[in-house]
């Protein structure tokens, strides 16, 4: 990572301005963020988020899959060998390299793991942080920004980015999934020197991640968790910058996961090829509101509006049905209990 001259100067001036005792306190108060994704540790979006969160003063530890793991949901895969059996994403790590490791320039803040998004988060929490960061407490797990949106209850279980997020919430750690509309599978190494390009989607989204995270921390007292236990947040960004020049600073909209335009995977048989094709699953059940504020717009409908808006939906990992639903089902099974 390159530090630009103004950043170096501003760090120096802060250091000079603060007496030693305060500096120590500041270090202790530095919030720690574990950063992961499903597009791999060398993806452009996650590296931009790492850079901007670090510049914003957070201690950021990046721990993400060595390979592209989109659509791997919450699966928990761990390496069965000490070395990689194939190249990682963009061949940034290669067949035969260790199955886990960090940036070669002794940067122990940036790690890869030959696993899934969920297990890469666990690798960061259970191995990297105890071994390299004195078992420091992680205040927030940030995942993404994903390359491509991850919208609605229909994609909740499928997305690896969201899978890493709900696995963090299972552990009682506040977590947010971010997904961008910039779906190109970009290697950060192809964009070196464009860190200050304010129309590059990855840079715009990284700044929006910082704005979101700053807001979350600003409103929390140091004693309590950032989010109520069992909850996490799913954020989706619209097209920005070069992908939509009219949108450089999207507005935040508070939304819900289910509702209109929610969809999931489906398939149809293709007589010509004798094979199946994937299709969109627009099912009525995905539009129903049972929990939460039914007056909120669905995240899928807000993104579909293409109105330079980012969605913010709160989910719960208490997957139980409502009491009413549960008692209806129980009565259908009466005789068993
Ligand atoms: C990385 O760390 C090792 C061991 O501390 C040291 O020998 C080596 O010079 C360092 N390399 C770089 C590029 O800083
Ligand atoms: C590591 O953490 C322990 C317990 O919080 C603390 O006493 C110790 O000073 C820390 N060490 C370093 C090097 O930060
Ligand atoms: C959501 O994420 C998965 C992978 O995490 C991706 O394959 C899928 O295309 C995304 N869904 C949508 C609706 O873009
Ligand atoms: C898409 O990603 C590839 C791989 O990093 C990169 O070379 C290319 O420039 C990207 N295209 C766009 C439009 O960003
Ligand atoms: C959160 O911060 C905003 C902006 O500073 C403020 O308006 C709001 O009242 C705060 N909410 C809480 C619960 O602290
Ligand atoms: C429970 O569900 C039934 C059937 O959908 C509905 O008629 C009833 O109003 C619900 N009761 C409560 C307390 O929500």
Which tens digits make up the pLDDT trace of 295-335?
A: 999 999 999 999 999 999 999 999 999 999 999 999 999 99
98-121 as b/e: b if 16+ CB within 10 A: ebbbbeeeeeebbbbbbbbbbbbb
For ligand 1, atom 6, name the residue with the nearest CA: 106
Predicted pLDDT at 15: 35
Give the distance (Å) from ligand 5 centre to CA of residue 222.
15
- State which ligand 3 atom lies nearest to the alpha carbon of 38: 5
Alpha helices in 97-200 (DSSP H): 117-123, 129-132, 152-156, 160-170
Task: Report whether residue 331 contacts ligand 5, using a CB cutoff of 6 Å.
Answer: no
Mean pLDDT of 109-136: 98
Residue percentage of the chain with pLDDT more than 90: 88
Task: Determine the Cα–Cα distance for residues 251 and 237; give it in Å rounded to an integer.
Answer: 9
Check whether 78 has a pLDDT greater than 50: yes
Q: What is the pLDDT of residues 26-50, one digit of tens each?
A: 455 799 999 999 999 999 999 999 9
Check whether 174 has a pLDDT greater than 70: yes
Evaluate whether 223 touches 281 at the Cβ level (below 8 Å): no
- State which ligand 1 atom lies nearest to the alpha carbon of 104: 13
Ligand nearest to the CA of 323: 6
- End-to-end CA separation in angstroms for the chain: 61
Q: Which residues line ligand 4 (CB under 6 A)?
A: 184-187, 190
Check whether 210 has a pLDDT greater than 50: yes
Measure Cα distances from 293 to 43, 201, 253 in Å. Answer: 35, 31, 14
Give the distance (Å) from ligand 4 centre to CA of residue 185.
7
Ligand nearest to the CA of 165: 3
231-236 vs 251-255, strand pairing mode: unpaired
How much is the pTM?
0.88
140-147 vs 32-36, strand pairing mode: parallel
Give the distance (Å) from ligand 3 centre to CA of residue 241.
21
Listed in sequence order, the residues at least 6 apart from 333 whose beta carbon sits closer than 8 Å to its beta carbon are none
Evaluate whether 73 touches 160 at the Cβ level (below 8 Å): yes
Q: In the chain, how many H helices and how many E strands?
A: 10, 11
Active-site hit among 99, 179, 258, 298 = 179
Listed in sequence order, the residues at least 6 apart from 319 whose beta carbon sits closer than 8 Å to its beta carbon are none
Least confident of 54-68, 81-95, 139-153, 216-230: 216-230
Task: Report whether residue 207 contacts ligand 3, using a CB cutoff of 6 Å.
Answer: no
> How does residue 222 score in pLDDT terms, banded at 50, 70 and 90?
low
Task: Determine the Cα–Cα distance for residues 326 and 332; give it in Å rounded to an integer.
Answer: 10
Instruction: Give the helix/strand (H/E) hosting 313.
Output: strand 309-316
Give the distance (Å) from ligand 5 centre to CA of residue 219.
6
Closest by Cα among 296, 293, 287, 178 to 232 = 178
Is the four-CA dihedral 140, 146, 152, 158 of positive or negative sign?
negative
Check whether 4 has a pLDDT greater than 70: no
Task: Report whether residue 221 contacts ligand 5, using a CB cutoff of 6 Å.
Answer: no
The reply to whether 179 belongs to the active site is yes
Give the distance (Å) from ligand 2 centre to CA of residue 138.
15
């Amino acid at each position: 990572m390159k530090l630009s001259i103004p950043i170096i100067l501003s760090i120096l001036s802060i250091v000079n301005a603060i007496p030693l005792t305060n500096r120590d306190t500041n270090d202790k108060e530095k919030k720690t963020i574990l950063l992961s994704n499903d597009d791999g540790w060398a993806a452009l979006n996650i590296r931009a988020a790492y850079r901007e969160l670090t510049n914003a003063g957070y201690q950021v530890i990046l721990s993400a899959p060595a390979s592209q793991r989109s659509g791997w949901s919450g699966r928990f895969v761990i390496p069965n060998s000490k070395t990689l059996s194939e190249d990682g994403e963009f061949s940034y790590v290669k067949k035969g390299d260790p199955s886990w490791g960090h940036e070669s320039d002794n940067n122990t803040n940036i790690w890869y793991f030959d696993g899934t998004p969920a297990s890469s988060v666990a690798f960061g929490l259970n191995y990297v942080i105890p071994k390299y960061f004195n078992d420091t407490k992680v205040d927030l797990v940030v995942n993404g920004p994903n390359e491509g949106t991850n919208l609605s209850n229909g994609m909740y279980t499928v997305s690896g980015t969201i899978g890493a997020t709900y696995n963090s919430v299972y552990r009682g750690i506040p977590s947010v999934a971010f997904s961008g509309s910039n779906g190109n599978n970009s290697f950060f190494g192809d964009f070196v020197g464009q860190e200050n390009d304010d129309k590059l989607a990855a840079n715009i989204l990284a700044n929006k991640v910082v704005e979101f995270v700053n807001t979350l921390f600003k409103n929390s007292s140091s004693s309590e968790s950032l989010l109520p236990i069992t909850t996490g947040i799913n954020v989706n960004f619209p097209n920005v910058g070069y992908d939509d020049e009219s949108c450089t600073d999207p507005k935040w909209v508070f939304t819900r996961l289910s509702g209109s335009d929610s969809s999931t995977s489906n398939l149809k048989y293709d007589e010509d090829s004798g094979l199946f094709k994937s299709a969109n699953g627009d099912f009525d059940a995905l539009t129903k509101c049972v929990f939460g504020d039914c007056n909120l717009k669905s995240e899928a409908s807000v993104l579909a509006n293409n109105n330079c808006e980012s969605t913010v939906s709160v989910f719960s990992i208490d997957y139980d049905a409502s009491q009413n639903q549960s008692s209806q089902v129980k009565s259908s099974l009466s005789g068993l209990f």
